[in-house]
Amino acid sequence: MIRPVKVVEHEKFPGIYVVEYEDGTKKLATVNLAPGVKVYDETLIQHGDKELRTWNPYRSKLAGAIHKGITINPIKPGVKVLYLGVASGTTPSHVSDIIGPKGVLFGVEFAPRVMREFIEKVAVHRENVVPLLADARFPTKYAHVVELVDVVYADIAQPFQAKYVADNADMFLKSGGYIMMAIKAMSIDVTATPSETYKREITHLEERGYKVKEVKHLEPYDEAHAFVVAQKP
């Protein structure tokens, strides 16, 4: 096994680490908020009194976006995040690591089976995670639980995702807060070429008053995916 030789904090983003290996390769990592517990096939690395979890850009679009050089990452220690489409928790677990014990992640997912996994593998082990089995298209159904948040993170691969994301952000995002959204071109509309879909989704966010700050294509980490960061004025 190749041993890690150096661990440094990410130069721009607090709460995120870079692990350097003997052979010169580098990997992103976060500090495990639930020591000893793995969520997917990440590696656990002991570093001083902390345990790090490596963060795979091929498995997580946020890690992919960081590798591709996004310059804004509002997900940092202490913030509140509304996460739409947590699935079984791959990316959400890293978000939970980053925001730490002072942050809160409200995690919405509507597929019961993956929600079950999310509860047992992620939510019960992490006190900053509040799981919500709900449909992100109907935000008033969880409006009694979710507080105003710093970030709305969306990865729900729905047609017209931007509309639902904006609906959620209208209700729950602080002014000055950020939307982070992964657009999967193929499943949103198979007939349109990827760039058309991206454009339509991005235009929608702008029409709803959100300022699009960054758009990154996630190749090669993810085929036909784009990652959007937008801000609420």
Please enumerate, by residue number, every residue annotated as part of a binding site for S-adenosyl-L-methionine. Answer: 90-91, 109-110, 135-136, 155-158
Q: Which stretch binds other proteins (CB under 8 A): 28-36, 61-69, 164-172, 214-222?
A: 164-172
Between CA 94 and CA 113 the distance in angstroms is: 21
Residue 56 engages ligand SAM in binding (rule: CB under 6 A): no
Would you give the binding string for other proteins spanning residues 35-64, x where CB under 8 A is met? ------------------------------
Residue 135 binds: one of ligand SAM, other proteins, none (C-beta under 5 to 8 A by kind): ligand SAM
By CB under 8 A, the count of residues binding other proteins is: 31
Residues of this chain that bind ligand SAM (CB under 6 A): 60-61, 85, 87, 90-91, 108-111, 114, 135-137, 155-158
